[in-house]
Homo-oligomer: A and B are copies of this chain.
Amino acid sequence: MKLTSKGRYAVMALVDLARFDNINPVSLRDISLRQGISLDYLEQIFSKLKKNQIVQSIRGTQGGYILTKKPNDIKLTNIFHAVDETVKTVQCKKESKKGCNGKATKCVTHNLWDELETHINSFFEKKSLEDLLKNNKDQRI
């Protein structure tokens, strides 16, 4: 199962972006400085966010990134999915197509991880960038 700092950085960066993109696009350099995340690493992350139509890029001086949707329409599940933070667990060996570990039948945990994935996604589908913004409105980021 993967849920690491790449996903955390993506969320932090997008919240930062959502707070500052009122007028102008926000550069990764600014986000890097404010959030304390390596610029080179941010570029990797935003490349994926762009491919998944979560952000849009504007090149050149005064360029940067802007959100493609309203913060309320960007759920955390979209963000995690974009940066490959899949809540996908270690699968059974798929040597035979119907069984696990070379057995004829499914193992007892075969469906368990699927249920878990559904359960976790239901958590992240409810949470949007907007929610995180509200929670931190009084705080300085």
Contact = CB atoms under 8 A, between A and B. Distances in A.
A13 to B, nearest CB: 10
A8 B91 CA distance: 9
A81 B136 CA distance: 32
B120 A132 contact: no
Interface string A1-45: 111110010011001000000000000000000011100000000
Contacts of A102: 36
B36 A101 contact: yes
B5 A2 contact: no
Contact of A140 (B104, B111, B115, B116): B104
B4 A3 contact: no
A48 to B, nearest CB: 18
Interface string A65-102: 00000000000000000000000011000000000011
Contacts of A51: none
Interface of A: 1-5, 8, 11-12, 15, 35-37, 89-90, 101-109, 111-113, 115-116, 119-120, 123, 127, 132, 135-136, 139-141
